[in-house]
């Protein structure tokens, strides 16, 4: 998987160079907020071909606040996402659940490479369950676990399409009831907080395919410098296409790898068509 990630880095960097921009900068606050709601529903009554009643909904809120000045750039982003599905007589089960914020402050000392400090936090809204067990077993909840990272290093920004960061980082994993995410197996106590020191590498790719379509891809790597196969990977890709002013198509793929949670990669894919509105 490491070779594939290296290829992705090279492709994104090459694409950004093809679209380098030399336009004069516009200083000040840039604010974006987009809300989207996807709904699907089906009902069957005495239907000869058969079928099962189902309902699914998903809400997404994307936030971006950037203060770009001559001497610094302060970028703040947020992603809030939650959805549920219900099939037949089953109870509602969540389909997506994510709460993530990021703040990056970069000092403009040179043209494309500058020092930065950053903070990232990620958790979920509601409890998560393992439905393969009877009765269902709760396996996660709000801030249980919660992941936080602080980093300092250098950021590379040749244009508005691609950005990359590399630096020293601290990572905290906080838990309450589910200490399997934070516990040190070499100790007898059950730790609810795990601190790790290491290195962080991030590449952020944003490309406007057309006037109404945008692709965003972000790869986040964290290593505690203990072993090469223990590099945490978060690869999140969003494709959004506006069909009308209020109707949009969204396709999301998220790949995760964290050996502390699972020795296999985790994969989530969500596709939806629904109402989308730019708040500002």
Query: Tokens 């999140």 label which residue?
Result: 236
The pLDDT tens digits for 192-236 are: 999 999 999 999 999 999 989 999 999 999 999 887 778 999 999
Q: Can you give the residue ranges of every domain in the chain? A: 2-231
Closest CA to 220 of 180, 153, 164, 157: 164
Tokens of 208: 């406007």
Contact 8, 219 (CB under 8 A): yes
CA distance 35 to 154: 32
- Rounded to 5°, angle at Cα 114 from 109 and 116: 115
- Model pLDDT, residue 45: 85
Q: Which residues of the chain have pLDDT under 50?
A: 2, 4-5, 9, 15-22
Contact 195, 172 (CB under 8 A): yes
Instruction: Give buried/exposed letters for 90-104 (b at 16+ CB in 10 A, else e).
Output: eeeebbbbbbbbbeb
Query: What letter does residue 272 receive in the DSSP assignment?
Result: E
- Model pLDDT, residue 20: 47
- Rounded to 5°, angle at Cα 227 from 225 and 231: 75
Contact 231, 220 (CB under 8 A): no
32 Cβ contact list (under 8 Å, min separation 6)? 62, 63, 64, 65, 278, 280
The pLDDT tens digits for 238-258 are: 999 999 989 999 999 999 998
Query: What letter does residue 203 receive in the DSSP assignment?
Result: E
**pTM for this prediction:** 0.86
How many C-beta neighbours within 10 Å does residue 12 have? 18
CA distance 112 to 156: 6
CA distance 104 to 73: 8
- Rounded to 5°, angle at Cα 253 from 88 and 112: 155
Tokens of 11: 């492709």
- Model pLDDT, residue 13: 52
Residue 37: its H or E element? strand 28-42
Closest CA to 25 of 159, 165, 115, 116: 159
- Model pLDDT, residue 49: 85
């Amino acid at each position: 998987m490491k070779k594939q990630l290296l290829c992705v880095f090279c492709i994104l960097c090459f694409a950004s160079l093809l679209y380098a921009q030399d336009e004069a900068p516009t200083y000040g606050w840039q604010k974006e907020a987009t809300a989207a709601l996807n709904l699907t529903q089906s009902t069957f009554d005495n239907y000869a071909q058969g079928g099962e009643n189902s309902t699914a909904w998903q809400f997404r809120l994307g936030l971006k606040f950037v203060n770009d000045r001559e001497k610094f750039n302060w970028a703040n982003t947020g992603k809030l996402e939650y959805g549920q599905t219900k099939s037949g007589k089953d109870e509602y089960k969540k389909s997506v659940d994510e709460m993530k914020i990021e703040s990056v402050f970069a000092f403009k000392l040179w043209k494309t490479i500058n020092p930065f400090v950053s903070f990232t936090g990620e958790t979920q809204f509601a409890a998560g369950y393992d439905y393969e067990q009877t009765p269902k077993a709760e396996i996660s909840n709000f801030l249980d676990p919660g992941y936080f990272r602080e980093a300092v290093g250098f950021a590379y920004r040749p244009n508005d399409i691609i950005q990359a960061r590399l630096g020293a980082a601290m990572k905290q994993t906080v838990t309450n009831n589910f200490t399997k995410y934070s516990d040190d197996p070499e100790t007898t106590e059950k730790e609810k907080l795990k601190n790790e020191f290491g290195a962080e590498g991030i590449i952020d790719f944003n490309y406007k395919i057309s006037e109404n379509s945008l692709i965003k891809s972000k790869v986040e790597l964290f290593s505690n410098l203990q072993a090469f196969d223990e590099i945490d990977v978060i690869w999140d890709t969003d494709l959004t296409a506006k069909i009308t002013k209020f109707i949009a198509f969204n396709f999301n793929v998220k790949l995760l790898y964290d050996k502390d949670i699972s020795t296999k990669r985790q994969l989530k894919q969500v596709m939806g068509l629904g109402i989308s509105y730019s708040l500002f």
